[in-house]
Structure 1
Amino acid sequence: MNILKFGGSSVASPDRIKKVAEIVQKKAQEKNTVAVFSAFGGVTNDLLKMAELAADEDLTYKDLLEKNEKRHLEAVKTLIPVKDQSSILSKVKNEFNRLETLYEGVYLLNELSNRTKHVIAGYGEILSSLIITEYFRSLGEEVQFVDSRELIVCKNTNEKIQVNYEKTYNNIEDFFSEHEANIFVAPGFVARNEQGIPSTLGRGGSDFTAAIFAGALNVERLTVYTDVDGMYTANPNIVPQAYSLKNISYQEAMELSHFGAKVLYPPTLQPLLNKGIEIHIKNTFRPEEEGTLISKGSQENFRWVTGITHIDSVKLVNIEGSGMVGIPGFSKRCFDVLFHENINVVLITQASSEHSICIAVKGDEAEAAKLALNEAFEVEIQSHKIKAVEVEDKVAIVALVGDRMKSHHGLSGKMFSALGNNNINIRAIAQGSSERNISAVIAKKDVTKALNVLHEQFFEVPSKELNLFITGVGNVGSKLLNQLKSQEQYLLDKLRLKVRILGLSNSRKMIFDENGLDLDKWQDLIEEGEKADQKAFFEKVKELNLRNSIFVDNTASAEISSLYSAYLGNSISVVTCNKIACSQDFQGYTRLQDLSREYGASFLYETNVGAGLPIIDTLKNLVASGDRVTKIQAVLSGSLNFVFNNYKGEEPFYKVVEAAMKEGYTEPDPKIDLSGIDVARKILILSRESGLEMELGDIENDSFLSEASLNSESNEVFFDLLKQDEPDFKKMYESAAENNAQLKYVAQLEDGKAKVGLQQVGPEHPFYNLSGSDNIVLFFTDRYSQQPLIVKGAGAGADVTASGIFADVIRIGKK
C-alpha cells in the first residue's frame, strides 16, 4: 500500500488540489493508496486566530470565519461538477456551523481552554479531506474517507503529544481489514484522547499521522509531498546556495527536524525508525525531482557534515552560583522542576566547575521555567548560594548535523573559527557523545550571517563571498567598479573569491541591493537611489549583518572617516584611500588599529601612501620581521611630481596645475596637494607604521606657496593667486636649472623627526630622474643600511589608486 502525505501548501488552491489528485491517481494505479491531507494553506492559523479573537470578545472573528467558509465553498464549486455539489456543500456548511457554535461559546465565556483549542484547530484538515474525497469521487475514483479521529488515540491533550500505539495500530488494522477502496483519504493532524475527546498531534502533525498509518500498515515507504525539493543543507530562504540532499539517515533527519528543519515534523520518525520504513520527501510541484530519501544509512553522503539548521524561538535560562559546586542532586532537582512544569529542554550545557547550568527552552516557556526554578531554589537564592535565575532572550541555536562528523577531527574548530572570524559570539555550546550534532547558541540577529558562514565553510566549492559597500564613485570609485566587473570571473576561477557590490553612495544619492548591484547599470541605479546619508549608510550595512562585509571609502571626507570606528566595531572591514583617519591624532589612529584587532575586521589603507604602490605593506613587513627603520626619504606626491616635472618656466605654473587636476592627479581642492599637507599626512602615516608616536603638528612643513594662497577659500581665488605668484615659481625653477638640479617635493624621516618641503635634487640622487607622477620611497634600515630598499612607480591617478584598493579587498578575501 502507498502512504502519501500532502502539506498545506500542496492543497492551498483548487489548481494545486488538481495537481495533487494527478499524483495520487498515478500512485493508485500501482497499488491501493492512503493520502493524508493537511488543511488548506493558512487555514489552521486562521482557526486559532479566530478563537483568540473570540476569547478577547472581538467580533471581527466572524468576518474571518465568513471569509474561510467562502474559500471552502468556492473550492467545492471549482472542483466538483454542479450535479455532485449538494452533498459536500451541506457537509462543509455543517462543519462551519459547528465551528460557529464553538466560537460563540468561547466568546460568551470569554475563555479559550486547551481542549477547545485542539478541537477547533483540527477542523481545517477535516474540511480539506472531505472536499478532496468528494473531488476524487467526481473523477470516478473508488474512494473512502478515513476519519483519523476514530483511529488515532492520544494519551494526553496538551502540546506534548504521546500516542497510544497499541490502541491506534489495532484501530487502523481493523479499519483497513474491513474497508476496501482504491484511494483512502485521511485528514492529518487530528486524533482523540483516551476519553474520546477530539485532539490533535501538534502543529505539523499531518506528517505524524501519515507515519502512524505507515507504521500500522507496515509499508515499505512513506512519501511526504511538500513545496520544496526535499531536505536541504540549510534553509534555502536564508542560505541561497543551499541544495537538497539525496540521502540522509533517520538520525540525521531527526536532528535536523528537531533543530528547525521545517520540512519534517520531528515525531514523524518515531513510528518508522524501528520498522525501517523509509521516508521519501518530494516536491508536489516538481514531482519529477529526486527529492530526499530518509533511511537507515546515508552512505552516499560524502560530506562530513550533512546539514546546518537552527532554532530561533528559544531563550536561555541560566542558573549560577557557588552553592551549586559539589552538591549532589542539584541538577536532578533542577530538571525535576522543569519536568513537573511540562517544560521541554532543547539544549543543556554545564561548566566543568559546576558553577553554572545553562539550558535552552522554547521562548514561550522561559518565563514559566524562571518562576518555577526561583520558587524551587528560594532558600538557596535568599542565602546567596545561587543567584536568581536569569532569562536571556534574542538568542538562537545553530547546529551542524551529520553521521560522519564523529569520524572527522577538527570540525568543531572549523565551526567556531568560521563564526569567530565574522565576530559571531557564542553564548553556549553543546555536543553529544555521538558527535552527530554540534550546537551553539548565538545572538538571533546573527543567524543569517552564521548560517551562510557555516554553509560556505562546509558545503560550497572552496570560495569566499565578499560583500562590498562603496562610498565615493567619482574618478577612483568608478575605476574600481570597472576593475571589479572586468575581473569578476578571474577572481572566482583563480582566487575563489565571489565579490558582490551591495551598496553604493556618492555625495547625493545612495542605493542598496541585497542580491548585488548590476555593475553594468550602476550609474543609472544610483541616480534612482535615496538621498545620501553616511550615518544611514552605516546603519543599513550594520542591519544587513552579512558575512565578510567590507566598507570601501574612496573619498577625502572627514565625516566619512569618522565612522570607521563604528564599522570596525561591528566587524565590518574598512578599505580606504582617505588619509584623514590614519593622520588624525595618534590616539584616534591607535584606536582604529585596536578595534580592527578586537573585532577581527581588517583595516587596510595601502593607498594612503603611493596609491597602488606596496609602500605601507613593505614597511609593515620590515617592522614585523624585526628590522628597524633608521631613515625614510621619499617623493610621495604624484601630483607635485607631475607639476614640477612639467613646469619649465615657459607655460605658467597655474596652467600646469590645471592640467594635473584634469588628469586626476590632484584632490578636487588642489591646495591640499600643493600646500604639502597631503605629503605631511603620508610621512606621518609612515612614521607611525615605523613605530613612532607622532602627530601631524610635529612635522615641519616648508611650503613653497605664499600665505595668501594657503589661506584662499576657493579654487577660483587660489588660481588667481597662483597667477600673481608666477615670478616666484619661475625664479625657483631657474635657480634649480642653474644648479643642474630638479625640483622635488621631498618627505623625510630621520632621528625621530619628520619634515616635508621643496628641494633641489642633483643628478646623483635617485630622485633626479623621477618622471611623470611617479612616487619613490627609500627605506634605510638596519638591514638596508648602505643601499636602501627602494619602492618606485606611479603614485597618483584614478586607475592605480583603484587598483591599490582592489588589492586591499583581495587581501581581505585571502585572509
Structure 2
Amino acid sequence: MKTLKFGGTSLANAKKFIQVSSIIINKVKNDQIAVVLSAPANITNQLENIIKKCIFKHSIPTKILITIKKFFLKLIKNIYILNNQYPKEKITEKITIQYKKINHLLYQIQSLDKCPDKIYAEIICVGEILSIHIMKALLVTLGYNVTVLNPIKLILANSNYINATVDIDKSKKRFQKLNICKKNIILMPGFIAGNESNELVVLGRNGSDYSATILSICTNSHTCEIWTDVNGIYTSDPNIISTAQSLSEITYQEALELSYFGAKVIHPSSIKPLQYHNIPCIIKNTNNPNHPGTLINNNNKNNNDIIKGITYLNNIILIKIYSTKNFNIEKISHKIFKYLYNNNISIYLLNQSLSINTISFYVQENHLLNIKKKLEKIFNKEIQKKLLEPIIQIKNLSIISIIGNNIKKYNINIIKKICLSLEKFNNKILEVSYNTSNISLSIVLNSINIINIVKNIHDFILNKTISINIFLIGIGGVGSELLKIILKQQKQLKKKFIQLKINVIANSKKYIINKQEVNLNEWKNEFTISDKIFNLEKILILAKKYGYLYPILIDCTASKYIANKYNKIIKSGFHIITANKKSNSDLLSNYVSIRKTANKYNKKFFYETHVGAGLPVINNLKNLIKSGDRLIKFQGILSGSMSYIFGQLDNGTTISEATKKAKKLGFTEPNPKDDLSGIDVARKLLILAREFGYSIELSDITIEQILPKSFETIDNKKIFLSQLKHLNNQFIQKVNHAARKNKVLRFVGTIENSGLCSVKIKSVNNNNPLYHIKNGENIFVFYTKYYQPIPLILRGYGAGNKVTASGIFSDLLRIIL
C-alpha cells in the first residue's frame, strides 16, 4: 500500500485533475493506492472569507458563493471537454447540493450573529468533499474501481471542531475492520475527521497533510507521497530565492525543524507521526512527476555536518512577562501555555528564567487576537497586586533559522556571515537560540529587508558562493574592453566560488539592467534598443532594492558629475573602482571627503588606473608609505599618449600627425587637448603628490604651456586636431635643438621633496631613465629614503584601452579575493 496526497495547487483546474488522475493510474500498476485530496487552490480561503463577511456584514455574500459554484461548474465542464465520457450532470448535482448546504449554514450564522465552530468546520471542508466527487467520477470513467472512505466515521479525533487532534491508535482499529478490494483505488477527503459523537471536525489549516499521515499509518502504507507544485523540499523558498536547491534526502528531525520555522511544503503535525511509525515520506512535484523529489526518513548516513536549509518567519511578536522577586513565575506558566494551546497559537524560542523571574516567547501576529491584551486580562489580578510587571510586547520582528545536523559546529562561521549580511541592511541580531537536538540555529531580528537578508545568508552559507554585483558606467573603449575581460574570467572565478555579475551597464544617456545578470554576449544589442534614460539616483537604489551584498560601481567615464557623486554612491552601499581621474584631482576637500566616507561605511575606493593605467603604481606607493618610507624626489612620464607623441617626434613625425596617431590607437583622453595642455599629467602628478601626503591643489602645479592661448577656446576635437599643424615647425625646431646635444624631448612630471610639482618639456640624455621611454610606455622614478641613490623604477605601458581595463580588473580582484 502507498498513500498519495495532492495539494490545492495540484488540483487548480481541469488539466491538473487529469494530470493527477494519470499519476494515480501510473502508481496503481505497482501498488494498491490510497489517495488524499485537498480542496482546489484558494477555495478554502474563499470559504473562510464568506464566513467572515457573513458575520461582519450581517448578510450572505452571495457573489462570492456564486463565484465558488461557478469555479466548480467550469472545472467539470472543462474535464468533460477533455473526456466526453465524464458524468458532468451527475457531478453538477453534487455541486448544487454542497452550494445549498453552505447557503443554509450561512443563514444560521446570520440568525445567530456569530459562527459556531461546528458550522465553521462544515463550511470550510466543502472544497475537499467536492474534489473527491470530481476525482472519483473521473477515475470510474477511465475504468477503475474506487472506494471512498468517510473520515468522519474512520478517523477519530477530539471535539475541537476546527483544530482537532487524532487518536491514531483508535483510528487504526477502525480501519482494520474494513475489507477493501486490493484492486480498488482508495479516495479520502483531506482535512476532515470525526469526534466521538460522529460529528464532523477539521484538522486545522494544512490538515490534508495530517490526513495523509494518518491514512498512511492506518493502512500500513510503506510510503507516503505528498504531491505539490515544486520538486521537493528546497534549501529555501524557491519562489523567493532563485539559487535555492532541491534536497534529495533529509531526516524527519530536519524536516520538522524546516517546517516548524517556515518551510511550507509539509506541515509539522504531519511529520512526527510518520517518524514515530518509521514511514518514509517523499515530497513530489505534480508538474514534474519523474523528478525523484525529496525523501524524508530516519537515515542519518552521509548526513553529518550538512546544512540543509534556511527558513524565515515574518510578523513575529515578542511577549515578555516579568514577575516580582516575591512571586514565582512558574505559578502562572501553565495558564500562559493553556491559553496559547486553546487558541492554536504556536510559540517559538521559549525562554524561562527562574533567576530573573521571567518568561519570554515569540508568536506570529494574529490580527483576530490581541495576545498582549488577552494575557493582561488573564493575569489582571496579579498585575493589580504588582506580582507581575506590565506585559511587554515588541512587534515587527522576524526569525531566521539555519537547519542541519550538528549545527553548533558551524555557529561561529554562520554568525559571522549573518552579521555581515545584517550590517549591509542596517539590521542586527536581537537574540540567538539553538534547539536542544542541535538541528537548528535561530536568530531574531527586526523585519527590515528580511527577504534580501535571507537571500544573502542563503548564498553565503549554502551556495558557498559570493555574488559580486557590478554596475558599470561608461562603455567607451575602456568600459567595453573591461566587459570582455569579465566575460573571459567569469568561469575561472566561479571555480573559486565567486560569481561576477554585471547588473547595470550605462552611459551618460541610457542604461540597461538585469536583476540576475546582463548577458555579456548580448549586451550591445540590448543596449541599442534600451529606452531607459540614465538616472544615477534610480540606479543607486537598485543595490538595496535587490539585496546585493557586494555591489561595486565601476566608473569608466571622464564625467565630473559622476565623480562629484562618489560620496553618495558609497553611502548607497557601493564599493567604487574608478578610472575617472576627476575624483582624485578635484579640490583637496573632496579628495579627503571621499576617503572619510569610504572609511566610515567600510567601503573600498580603488583607483589604480588614475596614474599608470595597468601599472601597479598606487598600490606599491601605498605599501611604501605604510612601511615608513618617505619621498625625496619623483620624476616620470605619466602619460601614455605623451610618451607616444614625444617618441614619434624622435622619428621626425610632426606634432599634429603624432597626436592623430595616438588618438587613433586609443592612447589619448577623449579630447586630446587634455593631453597636450598638460592637464592630464598634472592631475596624475597631483594624485601622486597627495598619496605621499602633500596637501596641494591642481592650481599649485606649474604647467609649461605647450599650446598657445588661442587654443584655450577650442573645444571641438576635430577643429583642435586640424589647428595643431600650426605648431609643427615650432616642435621640429625644439626636437632638432635637443638632438644636437644628443638629447631627446620628454614630457615630464616632477615632485620635489618640498612638495613643489611641475609639468614641463625636458631634454634628457641617454643616462636618464626617461630617455628610452616612448611608444606609450610610462615610467615612474621614485627617489625615497629607502631607494637611493638607485631609485625605485616602475615602467610599462600606461595607456590604451586594454591596459587600462586590465588595471580596473586588477582593482576588482583586490576587492573580491
Describe the shift of the 1:557–1:408 C-alpha distance in structure 2 as closer, same or farther (beyond 3 A).
closer
Provide the secondary structure at the position in 2 that maps to 1:306.
Answer: strand
What does residue range 108-123 of structure 1 map to in structure 2 within 5 Å? 117-123=120-126
Partner of residue 261, structure 1: 263
Describe the shift of the 1:132–1:715 C-alpha distance in structure 2 as closer, same or farther (beyond 3 A).
same
Provide the secondary structure at the position in 1 that maps to 2:612.
Answer: coil
Partner of residue 95, structure 1: 98
Describe the shift of the 1:142–1:569 C-alpha distance in structure 2 as closer, same or farther (beyond 3 A).
same
Alignment of 1:557 onto 2:559:
yes
After superposition, give the CA deviation of every residue in 1:620-675 in whole Å (9 maximum; x if it has no partner): 22233443444433322222222222236965534433333232222223333333
After superposition, give the CA deviation of every residue in 1:414-436 in whole Å (9 maximum; x if it has no partner): 54366368567333332234332
What does residue range 515-664 of structure 1 map to in structure 2 within 5 Å? 515-529=516-530, 530-647=532-649, 652-664=654-666
The separation in 1 between residues aligned to 2:122 and 2:568, in whole angstroms, is 53
Describe the shift of the 1:693–1:113 C-alpha distance in structure 2 as closer, same or farther (beyond 3 A).
farther
Return the offset for 1:349: 7.2
One-letter code of the match for 1:142? N
One-letter code of the match for 1:664? G
**Is this contact kept in 2: 1:247–1:300, CA < 8 A?**
no
1:771 is aligned, of 757, 771, 774, to 774
One-letter code of the match for 2:42? G
Partner of residue 226, structure 1: 228
**Is this contact kept in 2: 1:644–1:744, CA < 8 A?**
yes
Describe the shift of the 1:133–1:477 C-alpha distance in structure 2 as closer, same or farther (beyond 3 A).
same
Describe the shift of the 1:69–1:244 C-alpha distance in structure 2 as closer, same or farther (beyond 3 A).
closer
Provide the secondary structure at the position in 2 that maps to 1:748.
Answer: strand
Describe the shift of the 1:608–1:178 C-alpha distance in structure 2 as closer, same or farther (beyond 3 A).
same
The separation in 1 between residues aligned to 2:357 and 2:618, in whole angstroms, is 49
Describe the shift of the 1:473–1:408 C-alpha distance in structure 2 as closer, same or farther (beyond 3 A).
closer
Partner of residue 69, structure 1: 72
Return the offset for 1:805: 1.4
Alignment of 1:430 onto 2:433:
yes
Return the offset for 1:536: 1.8
Provide the secondary structure at the position in 2 that maps to 1:434.
Answer: coil
Return the offset for 1:257: 1.0
The separation in 2 between residues aligned to 1:275 and 1:113, in whole angstroms, is 35
What does residue range 666-685 of structure 1 map to in structure 2 within 5 Å? 666-685=668-687
Return the offset for 1:94: 0.9
Partner of residue 816, structure 2: 813
**Is this contact kept in 2: 1:334–1:373, CA < 8 A?**
no
**Is this contact kept in 1: 2:402–2:440, CA < 8 A?**
yes
What does residue range 90-489 of structure 1 map to in structure 2 within 5 Å? 90-102=93-105, 117-152=120-155, 155=158, 157=160, 161-163=163-165, 165-166=166-167, 169-171=169-171, 173-181=173-181, 182-191=184-193, 198-301=200-303, 303-311=305-313, 313-317=314-318, 340=339, 342=343, 343-347=345-349, 360-364=362-366, 368-369=370-371, 371=373, 389=392, 391-393=394-396, 396-407=398-409, 410-413=412-415, 415-416=417-418, 419=421, 425-428=427-430, 429-442=432-445, 446-460=449-463, 463-489=465-491
One-letter code of the match for 2:38? S
After superposition, give the CA deviation of every residue in 1:514-562 in whole Å (9 maximum; x if it has no partner): 2322222211101121222222222233322223322222111122233
One-letter code of the match for 1:435? N
The separation in 2 between residues aligned to 1:714 and 1:81, in whole angstroms, is 78
Describe the shift of the 1:45–1:706 C-alpha distance in structure 2 as closer, same or farther (beyond 3 A).
farther
Provide the secondary structure at the position in 1 that maps to 2:177.
Answer: helix
After superposition, give the CA deviation of every residue in 1:185-244 in whole Å (9 maximum; x if it has no partner): 111123456776644323322111111222344444322122222212233333434332
Return the offset for 1:606: 1.4
One-letter code of the match for 1:500? K
After superposition, give the CA deviation of every residue in 1:51-72 in whole Å (9 maximum; x if it has no partner): 4555556664255234323334
After superposition, give the CA deviation of every residue in 1:331-378 in whole Å (9 maximum; x if it has no partner): 987996686364433346799997999754324459824555788799
**Is this contact kept in 1: 2:148–2:188, CA < 8 A?**
yes
After superposition, give the CA deviation of every residue in 1:89-136 in whole Å (9 maximum; x if it has no partner): 211221122234445666788866766554433221111112112222
Partner of residue 784, structure 1: 787
**Is this contact kept in 2: 1:421–1:600, CA < 8 A?**
no
Describe the shift of the 1:742–1:111 C-alpha distance in structure 2 as closer, same or farther (beyond 3 A).
farther
The separation in 1 between residues aligned to 2:385 and 2:758, in whole angstroms, is 70
The separation in 2 between residues aligned to 1:484 and 1:214, in whole angstroms, is 54
**Is this contact kept in 1: 2:6–2:38, CA < 8 A?**
yes
**Is this contact kept in 2: 1:633–1:747, CA < 8 A?**
yes
The separation in 2 between residues aligned to 1:301 and 1:371, in whole angstroms, is 45
User: How big is the alpha-carbon RMSD for the aligned residues of Structure 1 and Structure 2?
Assistant: 3.9
Structure 1: state its 5+ residue gaps: none
**Is this contact kept in 2: 1:374–1:389, CA < 8 A?**
no
TM-score under structure 1 length normalisation: 0.87
The separation in 1 between residues aligned to 2:290 and 2:153, in whole angstroms, is 35
TM-score under structure 2 length normalisation: 0.87
The separation in 1 between residues aligned to 2:70 and 2:303, in whole angstroms, is 47
After superposition, give the CA deviation of every residue in 1:219-278 in whole Å (9 maximum; x if it has no partner): 443221222222122333334343322221111001111122211112111322322222
Provide the secondary structure at the position in 2 that maps to 1:244.
Answer: coil
**Is this contact kept in 1: 2:576–2:605, CA < 8 A?**
yes
The separation in 2 between residues aligned to 1:263 and 1:532, in whole angstroms, is 43
One-letter code of the match for 1:573? H
Describe the shift of the 1:229–1:759 C-alpha distance in structure 2 as closer, same or farther (beyond 3 A).
same
**Is this contact kept in 2: 1:248–1:294, CA < 8 A?**
yes
Provide the secondary structure at the position in 1 that maps to 2:625.
Answer: helix
Describe the shift of the 1:8–1:478 C-alpha distance in structure 2 as closer, same or farther (beyond 3 A).
same
The separation in 2 between residues aligned to 1:333 and 1:471, in whole angstroms, is 63
Describe the shift of the 1:109–1:433 C-alpha distance in structure 2 as closer, same or farther (beyond 3 A).
closer
One-letter code of the match for 1:798? N
Provide the secondary structure at the position in 2 that maps to 1:309.
Answer: strand
What does residue range 678-757 of structure 1 map to in structure 2 within 5 Å? 678-715=680-717, 718-719=720-721, 722=724, 729-730=731-732, 732-751=734-753, 753-757=755-759
One-letter code of the match for 1:340? Y
Describe the shift of the 1:107–1:380 C-alpha distance in structure 2 as closer, same or farther (beyond 3 A).
closer
Alignment of 1:504 onto 2:505:
yes
Structure 2: state its 5+ residue gaps: none
After superposition, give the CA deviation of every residue in 1:701-739 in whole Å (9 maximum; x if it has no partner): 444333443354444564576455556555554554454
The separation in 2 between residues aligned to 1:281 and 1:477, in whole angstroms, is 48
Describe the shift of the 1:413–1:539 C-alpha distance in structure 2 as closer, same or farther (beyond 3 A).
closer
Provide the secondary structure at the position in 2 that maps to 1:609.
Answer: helix
Describe the shift of the 1:685–1:442 C-alpha distance in structure 2 as closer, same or farther (beyond 3 A).
farther
The separation in 2 between residues aligned to 1:173 and 1:315, in whole angstroms, is 41
The separation in 1 between residues aligned to 2:711 and 2:698, in whole angstroms, is 21
Does 561-570 or 536-545 show the bigger shift? 561-570
The separation in 1 between residues aligned to 2:310 and 2:269, in whole angstroms, is 20
- Report the identity percentage: 29
The separation in 1 between residues aligned to 2:21 and 2:659, in whole angstroms, is 79
